[in-house]
Amino acid sequence: MAIERTFSILKPDATERNITGAINALIEQAGLRIVAQKRIRMTREQAETFYAVHKERPFFGELVDFMTSGPVVVQVLEGEGAIAKYRDVMGATDPSKAADGTIRKLHAKSIGENSVHGSDAAETAKIEIAQFFSGNEIVG
């Protein structure tokens, strides 16, 4: 399988509980390498752009409020089949449906406060990475 890069966010519920290290350990144990990482406070504009695909959804306002409510850690993860692998490691969006051992099963509080985001496809990974990182910030 090809080496890929995917985009990850450790969300405000994770930074608030000081569990970013615990989540990074799960990421690394799965064989993914954190090749870029920074802690930022997302602006409303950044969050609205990032989640533009969900603009018409009833939870959009709540989602933007949450993602701007505290610091987040944005990351680029690299590894074999990284996009699908990270989605496996995260578990289902709704933590009550997430498999045992996944980040969301272990740490997420609810479908909204679900600790992590990961890209869903190669094209979105590319766009999401480019929104937050310039090429020289990613060191593989």
Binding site for ligand CMP (CB under 6 A): 54, 59, 62-63, 93, 111-112, 114, 117
**Which C-beta is closer to ligand CMP: that of 45 or that of 59?**
59
Residues 12/72, Cβ–Cβ less than 8 Å: yes
The answer to the question of whether 5 is labelled as a binding residue is no
Give the position of tokens 């985001």.
117
For residue 76, give both structure tokens: 């680029």
- Residue number with CB closer to ligand CMP (70 or 112): 112
Is 41 marked within a binding site? no
**Least CB distance from residue 117 to ligand CMP, whole Å?**
3
Calpha distance 90→103 (Å, rounded): 5
Active-site hit among 5, 85, 107, 117: 117
Do 6 and 86 meet the contact criterion of CB atoms below 8 Å apart? yes
11 is in an annotated binding site: yes
Cα-based distances in Å from 125 to 5, 42, 75, 90, 109? 7, 18, 11, 15, 25
Confirm whether 107 is a catalytic residue. no
CB of 139 to ligand CMP, least distance (A): 25
Q: Considering the complex, what minimum distance in angstroms separates the CB of residue 134 from ligand CMP?
A: 23
- Residues with catalytic function: 117
